[in-house]
């Protein structure tokens, strides 16, 4: 009887965590939509096009971080200590640094091809990929460690 009660409590805890994550994911996506909607209202068409190109380039630039996320979640779920997870955050930062550096180096080409008006926008994007990749790895470490409350907060922020 004790095992059945424990299993039921565990399922209930996971169901609540799943609900909180669903709400946090929805809130994060709504905030992203509000950002794009706001940009479409306040920016002239050419600037909005440049912002859209940079947002899409961000998604492409974070693909290596997404791969690190998957590994981080799996490794964290199997790890026996938090000390073993330190390399996962570093791996996320390295992935972000490599892609970010490539974007910074390619900034003049990106400026020309995407008609950004200045290479500095691409440079800023490249520099932002480092902390974004680190955050992505942190999200999956939280997921793998079943710290869903903190993960939910990070998703919204």
Give Cβ neighbours of residue 64 (< 8 Å, ≥ 6 apart). Answer: 95, 96, 98, 99, 133
pLDDT-derived band at 104, boundaries 50, 70, 90: very high
**CB neighbours (10 Å) of residue 49?**
14
pLDDT of res. 1: 52
Q: What are the pLDDT digits (tens) for 49-80? A: 999 999 898 888 888 877 777 776 677 667 65
pTM (whole model) above 0.85? no
Q: Round the average pLDDT of the chain to a whole number and report it.
A: 82
Q: Is the pLDDT of residue 84 over 70?
A: no
Q: Is the pLDDT of residue 85 over 70?
A: no
Q: Are 133 and 96 in contact (CB under 8 A)?
A: yes
Q: What value does the mean pLDDT take over residues 122-144? A: 83
Q: Is the pLDDT of residue 41 over 90?
A: yes
Q: How many helices (H) and strands (E) does the chain have?
A: 7, 0
Higher-scoring residue by pLDDT: 157, 7: 157
Cα–Cα distance measured from residue 16 to residue 56, given in angstroms and rounded to the nearest whole number:
33
Q: Is the pLDDT of residue 100 over 70?
A: yes
């Amino acid at each position: 009887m004790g095992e059945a009660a424990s299993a039921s409590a565990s399922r209930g805890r996971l169901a609540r965590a799943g609900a909180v994550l669903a709400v946090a994911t929805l809130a994060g996506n709504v905030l992203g939509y509000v950002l794009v909607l706001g940009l479409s209202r306040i920016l002239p068409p050419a600037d909005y096009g440049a912002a859209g190109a940079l947002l899409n380039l961000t998604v492409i630039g974070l693909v290596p971080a997404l791969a690190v996320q998957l590994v981080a979640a799996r490794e964290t779920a199997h790890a026996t200590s938090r000390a073993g997870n330190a390399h996962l955050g570093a791996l996320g930062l390295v992935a972000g640094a490599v892609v970010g550096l490539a974007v910074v180096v390619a900034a003049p080409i990106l400026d020309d091809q995407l008609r950004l008006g200045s290479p500095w926008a691409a440079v800023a994007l490249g520099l932002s990929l480092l902390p974004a990749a680190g955050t992505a790895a942190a999200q999956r470490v939280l997921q793998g460690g079943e710290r869903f409350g903190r993960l939910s907060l990070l998703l919204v922020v």
